[in-house]
Amino acid sequence: MAQNISPRGERGNARKANDGSSSGGRDTHSVSKRLHSELLSLMTKGDKGISAFPDGDNIFKWVGTIQGPSDTVFSGITFKLSLEFPSGYPYTAPLVKFTSPCFHPNVDSAGNICLDILKDKWSALLDVRTILISIQSLLGEPNIDSPLNVRAAQMWKNQEAYKKHLLEVVHNKST
């Protein structure tokens, strides 16, 4: 039998999308079990300023929220994120993006986030809670030496002007 034919008789790339609809094998079950455990942990720990829940019935797609850290230009702003978990989770990092407008040195205009733990520093020991806390921390402490958004990085030094522009961006794109 050819290598590109799945046991279910499908041809082509055996890799499935991150929708959790791949064959209901053991891997999907273990990922689902891990995600249910992480959801329970998130709900019981009650960390202030972060939350995440499955988007409908799909345990592989979540909606997260992060409140901007106090004592930063992001204070008082709530951001929404999407989290998509691959079938290889937790050994493969989830795809995490801002879905609400976020003007930040390490976030591009499409909501992609430049954060080492979501790329080359990912570890199976990390979880949704750690991801959300890390992104919340990144909001107040950006890496301006390696920006995705060069304009935001240049403006970062003048916090008053940055805050004014941030509020314009958040207000204009959310209306």
Q: Are 63 and 80 within 8 A, CB to CB?
A: yes
Which positions are catalytic? 114
| Ramachandran angles phi, psi of 91, nearest 5° | -80, -15
Residue 92 is classified by DSSP as: S
Letter string b/e over residues 16-46, b meaning 16 or more CB atoms within 10 A of that residue's CB: eebebebeeeeebeebbebbeebbeebeeee
Could you give the angle at which helices 26-45 and 128-140 cross, rounded to 10 degrees?
60
Contact (Cβ atoms closer than 8 angstroms) between residue 33 and residue 59? no
Q: Return the residue matching tokens 């080359």.
A: 120
User: Would you say 139 and 66 are in contact if contact means Cβ atoms under 8 Å apart?
Assistant: yes
User: How many C-beta neighbours within 10 Å does residue 89 have?
Assistant: 22
